[in-house]
Amino acid sequence: MNSDYAADAARACDHFDEWQDAHGVRMHWRRFFELESAVELAGKQGDADRQIRDNGITYNVYADTRLGPARPWSLDILPFILDDADWRHIASGVSQRARLLNQMLADLYGEQTLLQQGVLPTALVLGHPGYVRALKGHRPAGGVFLHIVAFDLARHPNGRWCVVSQRTQAPSGLGYALENRLIVSRLFPEAFRQLRVQHLASSYRQLLATLSQLSPPTPRQSAPRMVLLTPGPYNETYFEHAYLARYLGIPLVEGSDLTVRGDELFLKTLTGLTPVQVVLRRLDDNYCDPLELRSDSTLGVPGLLQAVRAGKVLVANALGSSFLESPGLHAFLPGVSQALLGEPLQLPSLLSWWCGEDAALVEALECLPQRVIKPTYPAASPREHMEPVLASQLDAASLHAWRERILRQPGDFTLQENVPLSQAPIWRHGHIAAHPAMLRVFAIADGQGGWQVMPGGLTRVADEPDQPVVSMQRGGSSLDTWVLTQGEVDTFSLLPGQLRPTDLAHKRRLVTSRAAENLFWMGRYAERAEQRVRLVYWALEWLAVRQTDSAGNDACLPLLENLCRYMGLLPVGTPAGIGPEALARALRIGLVDGQAAWSVAHTLSALAGAAAPVRDRLSSTYSRLVLATSRRFSGQQAQRAHQGDYSNAEALADLEQLAVELVAIAGEQADHMTRDDGWRFLAIGRHLERLNLLAAQLGLGIAGCTPPQGPAFELLLALFDSTLTYRSYYQCRQELPALLDLLVCDANNPRAIRSVQAALRNELEALPKLPGAPALAEWLPSSAPGLDALCQRAPNQQLETLRCFLQHLDNASARLSDEIGLHYFNHNPSWHPDNPPARSSPC
């Protein structure tokens, strides 16, 4: 190996050194660097960072992507290497631990002998909010409560591995570990082969096999439908959820995608309700069912616990397993292992003291400065939440305050020994540095009482050499974990092979009801924003130059005010009949107030909110454009509000820029989206909103006995974005038949009501047909009345046929929106033979 590497790594005396021992660099590292050179390493970190950016691998540190792009995942190019002997010891101890935890759940939700015999304190178990009493007596299929368990391991300075924590409800890291492996193994293909590194894919195959084996029976012995349940795109590890679901070949769903009907779980899709037998969850226990667990949760599925109790769905891991993550349990696990397994623990826990026991409290407080103070119960519990505290970093006053706090509520705290983490080699700034490391390993149940430990894991390293805590949220990085073997290397892979023409035939992408609903509202909000911008721009421009004695101004001002009220552009409480200056001022206030539901900024925010959960269906340009438009306009208006002086000229300039951006958004939809059912719902939303608004606006424009003239005539043309077309046909003549022909009847005008109606019918007719549901296109009139009928006046001088037709469109579009939601989004049809859609003439 190159001697420069050894010279660059400083050996820490009070930590176990993963890089070298008393005899120099460890054998596996010597073998690794015999295959690598400094020149090669210098460029490979950049290659890894580039691949992370290209693959979109992220970790949302603040769990809110609305604030901007998520932080790229951090990966150091050097792997964390474990030799065969080291791994055999870890795998055996982890397998025993997983077996023990599963048997603990079986006992504590069953006969509770551990509590009756005093092996475990009753208060620590039953007092934990993660113990779900509603599942007492429930035994899942095969007696398997835990299907995958993660353990965080630290290496003691004496070289002994110990368990720091265990993750039993929704362990994370499987997706990131896989992505790390794909990147690093491609950076060092020769070292990966020569060192005989064990592959990971068989563990994921085992997970799928276990879930399939334990799933409830399916009709006609078909393969069970599995889904991966995620909290959604604002979760810190959302990328991993999406990546893991894609790798395993199962749909990624949110709680709103699922529904329980008659104790069975269903996935809501555009083709109807699809039964689901297995849920691989990445959602914490208390959020999974708002009916029986946390009532304020909007992330879970109402009725899920009842479906579990009825045996109609398998949830992995079993609900009610989160209390096993309490650090307070570690002190009792040696006794539990003897009671349940009849054997000592092969992998010890960190020395732990649950302060709820008097003896443990006294012993722990004697050496408080050398301990780590941890909460016994999770952040979601009613107790005050706290992050772990290193007592060694506290001054005398803080240490005294903590001692008093622990004495007041001893059961809320667990103390653990502070073990210096081992130092792992990482590549920093062109040389090797030693940083604290912690290893997360995963055990996967085989469904028959055994466990397979994935030969690898997720190793995390601290951001600084002297940082005592390893955390991705505190800027840490990750390493691929290489487990070496002397035996055969399993080369099985779940990555897709080369596609054949037969694989591509009739390929349809699953569209969940939630995705369709978000796309539907994206279309509606985009069209609503365009219409609002068009109206405010025309209003402010006209109000700035109007002449009080011009013909038609007296009629236009009330119409303009009515239109602005209908579009929700005036602040609540704005009096009726306000003058032109007050109207202009009210419209500018509406632009500035980004929190008000009537504002343009609020509509743009709603558009961005609808786009966030379906980013995987939008081009990166489309996603960025929607987010950037909302953020820019909201920020711009906030700045205007702070200045306090917002002129008409500034408002018009802002609206003009926004109009261009909205046209770009419409163009992205039209030219850069695949024409699948998801796109169809986006188009339906846009056309439905357009039809509703245009019909209502025209209805207000022709409401009087006198045909619209002058500015009112120009206003209607502007709202239909048809001013240039009308002038090219009729120059400056203002004739009612010409106006109605262009705005209602002209099939070549994409803004004409007839064209919008026809486009909407076409998209509705192309939707998947649902059993028992009506043809939704039948809610719309099949055609518009002829021009002669539209222009005919009733005895009261009203355009009665036109008014009736527009009113029917307004009612039909509202009902159609409800029916789309009931049938395709909520799957709760209201239609029955006695309540068919109206197919007759509206008048």
pLDDT value of residue 168: 97
pLDDT value of residue 624: 84
Which of the residues in the chain have pLDDT under 50?
A: 1-11, 62-69, 831-834, 836-843
Contact 140, 132 (CB under 8 A): no
What number of helices (H) and strands (E) belong to the chain?
28, 23
- What letter does residue 342 receive in the DSSP assignment? S
* Structure-token pair, residue 613: 């959960």
Q: Which residues contact 5 (CB under 8 A, 6 or more apart)?
A: 25, 33, 38, 431, 432
pLDDT value of residue 759: 94
pLDDT value of residue 144: 98
Contact 516, 681 (CB under 8 A): yes
Strand order in the sheet with 226-229: 252-253, 226-229, 278-281, 314-316
pLDDT value of residue 546: 73
**How many whole angstroms separate alpha carbon 365 and alpha carbon 373?**
11
Contact 736, 715 (CB under 8 A): no
Angle (CA) 113 114 116, round 5°: 60
pLDDT value of residue 832: 44
DSSP 619-649: -HHHHHHHHHHHHHHHHHHHHHHHH----HH
Q: How far is CA 687 from CA 148, 165, 420, 528, 750, in A?
A: 47, 54, 63, 11, 10
pLDDT tens per residue, range 612-628: 888 878 877 888 899 88
- The overall longest dimension of the chain from CA atoms, in Å, is 108
pLDDT tens per residue, range 517-557: 999 999 999 999 999 999 999 999 999 887 555 555 777 89
Domain with CATH 3.30.1490.270 in the chain: 351-417
Q: How far is CA 7 from CA 11, 80, 253, 305, 422, in A?
A: 10, 19, 50, 58, 19
Beta bridge partners of 434: 425
Q: How far is CA 656 from CA 532, 652, 662, in A?
A: 12, 6, 10
pTM: 0.83
Angle (CA) 661 662 664, round 5°: 65
Q: Could you give the angle at which helices 711-719 and 513-545 cross, rounded to 10 degrees?
A: 160
Name the nearest CA neighbour of 457 among 479, 437, 475.
Answer: 479
Report the topology of domain 351-417: Dna Ligase; domain 1 (3.30.1490)
Neighbours of 384 (CB within 10 A): 11
**How many whole angstroms separate alpha carbon 447 and alpha carbon 453?**
14
**How many whole angstroms separate alpha carbon 155 and alpha carbon 267?**
44
pLDDT value of residue 175: 94
